[in-house]
Amino acid sequence: MYSEKVMDHFTNPRNVGEIIDPDGVGQVGNPVCGDVMRITIQVEDGRIADVKFRTFGCGAAIATSSMITEMAKGKTLEEALKLTNSAVARALDGLPPAKLHCSNLAADALHEAISDYYAKTRTRGQALKVGG
């Protein structure tokens, strides 16, 4: 049985879509259940200014994707990296044990997007030093 919050985020997901020309992209999947999550972020002044998701999966996967985007928006990158799988599940008032892996995917996708952002900014910074 899903909580009211899970059902709300499943039936009315927040931040659905994809950011055009994102600063960071994270995509993770679970071959066991078939869920795939893609999170894109826009970063301004070290904060997540916008975050969007596209998820192929069950209701819990969609709900956790929606919740992680709500939790991450406005946070610094360091704060967003501290968001855990269990924090996502708690924010949704819990998930059935068989669906806890979905919360793992949501946090992992966000962390991947942040890692991608850091990799891109390091590469740009190095290119500027070499060229400048």
| String of DSSP letters for 74-92 | T-BHHHHHT--HHHHHHHT
- Quick: pLDDT tens for 12-50: 999 999 999 999 999 998 767 688 999 999 999 999 999
Max Cα-Cα span within the chain: 59
Range of the domain at 39: 4-131
Residue 58 is among the residues annotated as catalytic for this protein: no
**pLDDT, position 125:** 56
Q: Among residues 51, 102, 105, 107, which one is catalytic?
A: 102
Beta carbons within 8 Å of 128's beta carbon, 6+ residues apart: none
For residue 101, give the CATH number of its domain. 3.90.1010.10
Total domains in the chain come to: 1
> Which residue ranges in the chain fall short of pLDDT 50?
127-132
* Annotation says 33 is catalytic: yes
Report the C-alpha gap between 86 and 66 in whole angstroms: 15
pTM: 0.88
